[in-house]
Amino acid sequence: MVDIMKELGKESNLTKDIYPLVEIRGENLGTNWKARVRATLEENSSDVDGWLGKYDLFHNKDKGEGNWILRELDESSHEGRLNLWKKIKKIPDGEIDPSYIRELKIYKGATGICRDDSGICISVLNTGKHYPDDIFDEGILYHYPNTPKRPKTFDINETNSVKECASKGLPLFVILPGNNSKKRSIRLGWVADYDDDSEQFLIKFGEAKPEPVVEKEEQGFVGKTKRKKKLKEVATRSNNQTKFRFDVLKRYGSKCALCNIENKYLVDAAHIIPVDEDGTDDPRNGLILCKNHHAAFDRNLFKIDPNDFSIVVKDNLINISESNLITKTGKMPHIEALEYRFNK
């Protein structure tokens, strides 16, 4: 049956496609051969009640319609996408012609988020032109689409297709500019997390599915850690800061904790225990501050009392509209981080 489905090579209807090919290829089929074919499909598919629980080879795409596909060929399945990745890895230098990307059905053009035939995101495109996506060594922060010249529902559907990709635990393809302007580079990625407030997806690169995100409240807090010194320290810090910014925005929201500025492009993720003092990238060691208050915080022009989260201004050098720390989500930094900074 596997050979039959491979020969068909795509989603096939039981009556129109599968039975006719079995009849051509089969020998001594007997009187009940159609029932046996159907049983073979159902007994080896987790999509139907008749699954025996051992092999999961076939995907029943539309229940009741008789449409089947071999899972390893199905672009909406985990196996199908990893098989596409195997083909991509064989390309010398990883520089891929856009026509081949379309041939693989990874990208269809005219949109930043591409969906497969079942409506689930299969790829995201980064050109570096339209959205300020942050690419770092381990992944990319991909912004939700916001296209002025088309209905809002289109952007919503694209965004939801990426969320569905995450909920189903499927890999996707991140299409990046190639070294040659006429070529593309592709990375295999996974939607590790997303944040509706800052409207960003955290996509991590790699062949292995990343570990599920665990709320930091469920983990012990470590405010300081010995950071490894690397030759490319500036680039490394930038990579770490990209992920740190995502985590801090998700924890606190995109509003400055000391004033009314609320815009993800106008606020920073600030470390409470500074990086130069081996402060960690735990979001509980962070705050969302506008650029002015971030600069003032770095220069120790104010402190945050860890006992009541009140703002203590040094020698009245600046005016701060909020008398207490206020975050959009109501979550607060870790007391140990605030104590360290307050007692400096």
The pLDDT value recorded for residue 64 is 73
Element (H, E) at 160: helix 152-167
Residues 6+ apart with CB under 8 A from 83: 72, 73
The pLDDT value recorded for residue 250 is 94
Amino acid at 148: P
3-state secondary structure of 191: strand
Residues 6+ apart with CB under 8 A from 314: 300, 301, 302, 303
The pLDDT value recorded for residue 217 is 64
DSSP state of 48: S
The pLDDT value recorded for residue 231 is 43
The pLDDT value recorded for residue 318 is 79
Give the span between the Cα atoms of 342 and 190, in whole angstroms: 39
pLDDT in tens, the chain (344 residues): 888 888 887 788 899 998 998 888 888 888 899 999 999 998 988 888 888 888 778 888 777 788 888 876 666 678 888 888 988 998 877 789 989 998 888 888 778 899 987 789 999 998 776 666 688 888 999 999 988 888 899 999 999 999 999 998 999 999 998 888 889 999 999 999 999 999 999 999 999 888 877 666 657 888 888 766 554 444 444 567 889 999 999 999 999 999 999 999 999 999 999 999 999 999 999 999 999 999 999 999 999 999 999 999 987 777 787 789 999 999 999 999 999 999 98
Element (H, E) at 304: strand 302-304
Structural domains of the chain in order of their starting residue, each with its CATH number = 2-73 (no CATH), 89-212 (2.30.280.10), 222-342 (no CATH)
The pLDDT value recorded for residue 253 is 95
Query: CA 15 → CA 4, 22, 66, 73, 244, distances in Å?
Result: 14, 11, 7, 20, 54
3-state secondary structure of 35: helix
The pLDDT value recorded for residue 228 is 61
Helices (H) and strands (E) in the chain, counts: 9, 14
